[in-house]
Amino acid sequence: MKATVLFVDDEPLLLEAMRDALRRHPYEVVTAGSAREGLEILSKRPVDVVVSDERMPGTSGSEFLSQVR
């Protein structure tokens, strides 16, 4: 079973780069363009690791990760 990694960032190019970088590794990569979108994903499916940008519109990465925890 693949571990699932959620990347949260408001930069679409960075999310694409992370998905591409991990493509050959045994991970399922899920991306979200905002903290709100990340929380929606987490409410619907299990995720093993969450990686978040710190500076995003509306909610900082620290605030988002505090809610996730």
Q: What is the C-alpha to C-alpha distance for residues 23 and 57, in angstroms, rounded to an integer?
A: 28
pLDDT for res 1: 78
Q: Which residues, including other chains, have CB under 8 Å from residue 1's CB and lie 6 or more apart?
A: none
The 10s digit of each residue's pLDDT in 25-67 is 999 999 999 999 999 999 999 999 999 999 999 999 999 999 9
pTM: 0.91
